[in-house]
Amino acid sequence: MTNDTSVIVTSEFGLIVRRKALVERQVELRDLFAAMEVEERLDGCDDLLSFGPHFGREALNTIISRLTKLGLVYFDDFFEFCGDYPSWCAFRGGYNPSTST
């Protein structure tokens, strides 16, 4: 877990999940990890969890489908972060509670 209120994100088909959404939708963390086929997250803070990198659009679409089957809502509860960026550029995602659902 990071020491601040943001998470490291990968531009290589990464996913960011609101922790509060897991509580709201009654999704257990172990079920989230199983849907993602991971044992650990990429990063986390009190408000967010970050996962990735994933191996291409098809793999990401499969994971998104699994998350929606768990009851999570795309874009409100989680979203994908991807793009073409040089390896020397790093990204962090922060939580903005004034605009969350």
List the beta strands (DSSP E) in 33-96: 43-44, 48-51, 78-81, 91-94
CATH code, domain carrying 25: 3.30.70
Q: Mind listing the pLDDT tens digit for each residue in 82-93?
A: 888 888 888 888
Q: Which domain does 70 fall in, by range?
A: 6-95
In a domain, 55, yes or no: yes
In a domain, 58, yes or no: yes
In a domain, 31, yes or no: yes
In a domain, 57, yes or no: yes
Q: How many domains does the chain have?
A: 1
In a domain, 1, yes or no: no
Q: Mind listing the pLDDT tens digit for each residue in 25-37?
A: 999 999 999 999 9
In a domain, 81, yes or no: yes
HSE of 82, CA atoms in CB hemisphere, 13 A: 16
Helix or strand holding residue 14 (H, E): strand 14-18
Write out the two tokens for 82: 């991807």
Q: What is the dihedral of CA 83, 85, 90, 95, to 10 degrees?
A: -30
Q: Mind listing the pLDDT tens digit for each residue in 23-79?
A: 999 999 999 999 999 999 999 999 999 998 877 888 889 999 999 999 999 999 999
